[in-house]
Amino acid sequence: MSRLAAGVVLVTAREPGLDPDDPTAPAGEDVGMTATAFLSVSLDPPLVMVSLREGSRMDDLLAEQPLWAVSVLAESQRHIAGRFAMKGRISDRLLFEDIPYVRGAASDAPLIGGALSTLECRTEQTVTAGDHTLVIGRVLTASLPSADGGPLTYFRGRYRGLG
């Protein structure tokens, strides 16, 4: 499959706080994950799908939290893709520290600044497929925050631009 070029996205979600009814309880944390297995499923209704490694932090979170977001990364955002794809990485809170983002109105998830497009989704269905979970989400909002540059792609084990 390394010979199949794929677009690169950052999937994000807001982990709920430990006790939403207690203002003194620790707040939730932002979680992010680089994905190359992301695609449009339907235009009516608008549905997308992302493939998550079973048992990953994002898989566990989206099993409980139905709201999530996707930022389609530009070729200038390789550092973001690499940062959120690291194994054994530091906490997600630190990974988001120096990345510009806004919170999605529908999902409260981070939407990455400079992304070619952003989507906010609500999980409609999950399908177990081997060692992955396919998460199908209804698109709640879509925006085009940046028209600059081309898409970031992944091909033969490396991040690349189209050119």
Confidence of residue 16 (pLDDT cuts 50, 70, 90): confident
Confidence of residue 3 (pLDDT cuts 50, 70, 90): confident
- Alpha-carbon span 137 to 132, nearest angstrom: 16
Confidence of residue 64 (pLDDT cuts 50, 70, 90): very high
Confidence of residue 74 (pLDDT cuts 50, 70, 90): very high
Q: What does 38-67 look like in DSSP terms, one character per residue? A: EEEEEETTEEEEEEEETTSHHHHHHHH--E
pLDDT tens by residue, 53-62 = 998 889 999 9
Amino acid (1-letter code) at residue 7: G
Give the residue among 50, 68, 44, 35 at the shortest CA–CA distance from 126. 50
Give the residue among 66, 74, 82, 78 at the shortest CA–CA distance from 32. 82
Res 1: pLDDT: 64
Determine contact, residues 15/28, Cβ cutoff 8 Å. Answer: yes
- pTM, whole model, 2 decimals? 0.92
Q: Is the pLDDT of residue 81 over 80?
A: yes
